[in-house]
Structure 1
Amino acid sequence: MITPDELKPERTALVLLAAGKSERFGLSDKLNASFLGHPLGYHVVTALTAVPFQARIAVCDGGELDYGARGYTVVINEKPDEGMASSVRLGVKAAREAGCDAVLIALADMPRVTATQIYRLFDVSHGDETVAASSDGLSPKPPVLFGKAQFDLLEALEGDEGARKLVSGGRHVVTMADELVDVDTEEELEYLQRKFGHGRH
């Protein structure tokens, strides 16, 4: 049952962060690397297809994946070297311009995120002040849901710390650690391949 203060996907922008260097991943385009037969960066797109977001925004720095063809408004981050905060600022700005009441920030290199976890974040939301993060039981992580009262703070972020301080003071919804693995190295991708794909590439 939805409470009056509970945020709704229909008034929320999904902001998918798909920009930034992949220095720890080697020479290849990390998001285009194959995972279970599909590009790594499309798995979260597929997982969240049925969630009825008001807007879908992908913040990219070029790359090979065509998020626009999958229903996303593509925002190009011309300065990905400035850290994740630069992408967050662009995504929140686009969400504000789209008239959304909230943003759900997700990372394109987290291929095991589920729609169930996203709905659990909405379940603990409490209106415009909402900060609801996922957690592996040890620390808060994306995906994170923010109400519009947090937009000014998000648009003022700088560096790689992103919204860490803001998120640490919010509500945390624990799920299985494997759902929240973000792939930074080829070894992490191989681990997920072995565990969930029986070694398929």
Structure 2
Amino acid sequence: MIVPENTVLVLLAAGRSERFGNVGSKLEEEFLGRPLGYHVAVALEAVPFMARVAIVDGGRLDYTRYGFTHVHNDDPARGMSQSVRLGVTETMRLGAAAVVIALADMPRVTATHIYHLFDAATGEDSVVASSDGKDTKPPVLFGRAQFEALLTLEGDAGARDMVKRGRHVVTNPAELIDVDTREELEQLRELVHAPEALTRAGARRLG
């Protein structure tokens, strides 16, 4: 049986933010009063994972405050699969039965949805992905029988084919919004009435 207590949470927080613009790391942008990249860590803080691992590339965010160990990705240009391999390698070292891979640029993911992934897992060969009703997305749970395959991934496509063949847990599309561009961040701020929406360039300021 796969439960949080024998599962490692791997948070992918390394990347060049190329589509976002020349701002350093998009994860450091403010959203609802804290950096964008912290929201998933906070939302899943009460889920009793056996360990938490953040794959980072030298940004200023410190995930250790939320119980994470940092693993540094020295070559994020090799794509997301490089971060996945680093996270799975650490998961295997810890002897976990499963790994949940989440993205730090998906700030609306909830603990309830993560528990639904566990509910859909059937054993060590499990692949359970999130879905907005049309497309499969992270977070994704992989049982230990999938670890070796994850270590062979290349590029940004990552585990796409594995995920398509797995089980899919549908949730509200708003929960699975990922932020790749500045426009997407502004749209998300407006969707949730974030105070930062009032401080964007050209916006009307109060006071």
Could you tell me the TM-score, scaled by structure 1's length? 0.95
Distance across 2 between alignment mates of 1:189 and 1:99: 37
Unpaired segments ≥5 residues, structure 2: 198-207
Match of 2:56 in 1: 60
Structure index of larger Rg = 2
Cα distance in 2, alignment partners of residues 197 and 55 from structure 1: 33
Q: CA RMSD in A?
A: 0.9
1:124: which partner in 2?
120
| Amino acid paired to 2:157 | E
Counterpart of 1:180, as a letter, is L
The residue number in structure 2 matching 1:178 is 174
Q: Secondary structure at the match of 1:128?
A: coil
1:23 aligns with 2:6: no
User: Is 2:44 the partner of 1:39?
Assistant: no
Q: Distance in 2 between matches of 1:74 and 1:38?
A: 20
Give the residue type in structure 1 aligned to 2:33. G
Q: Is the 8 A contact 2:117 2:141 kept in 1?
A: yes
User: Aligned pair 1:13/2:1, yes or no?
Assistant: no
Q: How many residues are treated as equivalent by the alignment? A: 196
- 8 Å Cα contact 2:14/2:55 also seen in 1: yes
Q: Any conservation in 1 of the 2:31–2:194 contact (CA below 8 Å)?
A: no
Say which SS state the counterpart of residue 2 (structure 2) adopts. coil
Question: Residues of 2 paired with 1:175 and 1:9: CA distance?
Answer: 20
Q: Which runs of 5+ in 1 are unaligned?
A: 1-5
1:136 to 132, 135, 152: 132
**How far does the alpha carbon of each residue in 1:88-140 deviate from its partner, in whole angstroms, 9 at most, with x for none?**
00000001111111000000000000001000000010110000000001111
Deviation of residue 70 (structure 1)? 2.1
| 1:147 corresponds to | 143
Name the % identity.
60
